[in-house]
Amino acid sequence: MPSSRFFTFFQIFKYCIYSLLMLNVFIFLNDDWAASGHLFAGGVALGDLFQAFSPTIDTASWVILLLLFEMETYVLSDEQVQQYKWRLHGVRFLSYFFILLSFNGYWDKAFELYEVQVVEASSACQLVDNQTVYLITLDEFEALTNHNCNDLPTESGFVRLDGTHIIADAVALEAARRLAWVDVINAAVWLLIVVMLELDVWLQLRDGISRAVFIASSASKVVLYGTLLAAAVYWGWADAFIDFWDAFLWLLAFVFIEMNIVTWREETEAEDEAQEHAAAT
């Protein structure tokens, strides 16, 4: 049947998106590992771990949380969700713990981009040594050499990020700051969305989501998902392709979760109506 084939294709597509998000964990790990060597010249201390690897830890925690939502809203029955409730809650608590720490890492990274010292140099070539790198964009750096030092603009001068070997010109630094704040806003909005999803799941497991609550929740999510879409568009405009791609995949993934909740709600209402009809006859 066509409907059966479509359902199978849809499920395959959904889990392909989930798999790509898992792959992104390793992509971010590679990027964070390279960037941490410049941001933390003395090595990454335990206290700096969440700042240095915020995207990796954040993405891994979100993947786990996504799979939990998939299990609760689609894979498991209501009875199974209740049966495994404390196990699910335990894993969820750890995921939120790491997500909040990662959010703090984004916040700290944004503020550290304002902790700079002016470098007295008329040309970047005067700063060439074996350690200095220059900032291309957020978390992307290149070693400063005699071959590329003349390519850096000198009109606005240079600054050095405190405690690092990173130099930047005003334009690149401002672009990095904007990207850092988009990271903060994006992470904060996702936290608001999962709070609402947690409420949806809790209500559905109790007495079901009322129409009024469902409408209010849906309207709020339109604004929040719209904000996330705007962040994705900004990353695309700023040539931050990995961030754009990751944001696009996450939006798709949570559309699937929202669809699961709608279907779950409809099935519960249909079961309630059938029971009421059976009782009446």
For residues 182 and 97, state if they share a domain. yes
For residues 122 and 260, state if they share a domain. no
- Domain contains 137: yes
For residues 28 and 151, state if they share a domain. no
Give me the pLDDT at residue 214, please.
Answer: 83
**Number of domains observed in the structure of the chain:** 2
| Contact of 38 with 136, CB cutoff 8 Å | no
- Domain contains 262: yes
- Domain contains 76: yes
Question: What is d(CA 33, CA 162) in angstroms, rounded to the nearest whole number?
Answer: 20
Range of the structural domain that residue 164 is part of: 116-172
| Contact of 138 with 38, CB cutoff 8 Å | no
Task: State whether residue 159 is helix, strand or coil.
Answer: strand
For residue 252, the one-letter residue type is L
Residue linked to tokens 């904060």: 188
The alpha carbon of residue 215 and the mean position of all alpha carbons in its chain are separated, in whole angstroms, by 26
For residues 75 and 178, state if they share a domain. yes
For residue 194, the one-letter residue type is V
For residues 36 and 68, state if they share a domain. yes
Q: Which of 155, 172, 189 is the last residue of a domain?
A: 172
The total of other beta-carbon atoms located within 10 Å of residue 45's CB is: 10
The alpha carbon of residue 150 and the mean position of all alpha carbons in its chain are separated, in whole angstroms, by 36
Q: Which of 172, 199, 217 is the last residue of a domain?
A: 172
For residues 197 and 108, state if they share a domain. yes
For residues 199 and 72, state if they share a domain. yes
- Domain contains 34: yes
For residues 73 and 152, state if they share a domain. no
For residues 7 and 77, state if they share a domain. yes
For residues 83 and 207, state if they share a domain. yes
Query: Would you state the structure tokens that stand for residue 141, as one six-digit string?
Result: 């750096």
For residues 67 and 147, state if they share a domain. no
pLDDT tens per residue across all 281 residues of the chain = 446 777 888 889 999 999 999 999 998 888 888 777 666 656 666 656 666 777 888 889 999 999 999 998 888 888 888 898 889 889 999 999 989 988 988 899 899 999 999 988 878 888 888 788 899 888 888 888 888 888 888 777 889 999 888 999 888 999 999 999 999 999 999 999 999 988 888 888 787 778 888 888 889 999 999 999 999 999 999 988 888 999 999 999 999 998 888 888 887 777 767 777 777 76
For residues 41 and 56, state if they share a domain. yes
Three-state secondary structure readout of 66-119: HHHHHHHHHHCCHHHHHHCHHHHHHHHHHHHHHHHHHHHHHHHHHHHCCCEEEE
- Domain contains 281: no
Beta strands, E only, the chain: 116-119, 133-137, 140-143, 158-161, 166-169
Backbone angles phi, psi at 139, to 5 degrees: 65, 20
Query: Would you state the structure tokens that stand for residue 97, as one six-digit string?
Result: 């713990």
Task: State whether residue 204 is helix, strand or coil.
Answer: helix
